[in-house]
Amino acid sequence: MGGKLLKEIHKVRPFDSVQQELFLNLIRTADHLMRGFEGLLKPYNLSPTQYNILRILRGVGECGIPCKGIGEHLITRDPDITRLLDRLEGRNLLTRQRDTKDRRVVSTRITAEGAKILKELDKPVLEMHRSQLAHVAEMKIAQLIDLLEEVRGPE
């Protein structure tokens, strides 16, 4: 068991530590899985983060969410949420509206067009996740989830 990454990246010397090997394996695996996801989103001209934003907006429903709250829900950090929202708004996938009581708050909502794209992607995304991990037993997947949550540490 182990050592596969050494061969994949053509590394001659062993890793400096097991922690380094874990870190590089996580990055390599995330990249491997993301390539398939990015390919699925490409025809829709969406990045994974833009897709995540649309999912967040669909999840919060008609009430919407303040722009600053979106960042707290994202899977990966992005320092320029405003730019991402501008692009999605320009494509009519979301709307932003200032709160009438507190003009500093801008509420963001998914549009019918944004919801339509997500609906089209729901099944293909789920099938992609299943096929990417079809060779791994569900019990092992559950163990990996637990381990990854442990690695992220306590809240």
pTM over the 0.75 mark = yes
**pLDDT, tens digit (0-9, with 9 covering 90-100), for 12-49:** 898 999 999 999 999 999 999 999 999 999 999 999 99
Residue 63 has a pLDDT of: 86
- Residue 110 pLDDT greater than 60, yes or no: yes
The pLDDT > 90 percentage for the chain reads 68
Per the prediction, the chain carries an average pLDDT of 92
- Residue 96 pLDDT greater than 60, yes or no: yes
Q: What is the mean pLDDT of residues 5-12?
A: 88
- 96 part of a folded domain: yes
Check if the beta carbon of residue 110 is closer than 8 Å to that of residue 62. Answer: no
- 4 part of a folded domain: no
Q: What is the mean pLDDT of residues 100-127?
A: 92
Q: What CATH number corresponds to the domain at position 113?
A: 1.10.10.10
- 102 part of a folded domain: yes
Maximum separation of any 2 CA atoms in the chain, in Å = 63
- 9 part of a folded domain: no
Label residue 2 by pLDDT band (50, 70, 90): low
Integer Cα distance of 122 and 60 in angstroms: 17
Question: Between vectors from CA 153 to CA 148 and to CA 155, what angle results, nearest 5°?
Answer: 120
- 77 part of a folded domain: yes
Domain that residue 104 falls in = 31-150
Residue 142 burial by CB count (10 A; 0-12/13-18/19+): exposed, middle or buried? exposed
Residue 100 has a pLDDT of: 75
Number of separate domains in the chain: 1
- 94 part of a folded domain: yes
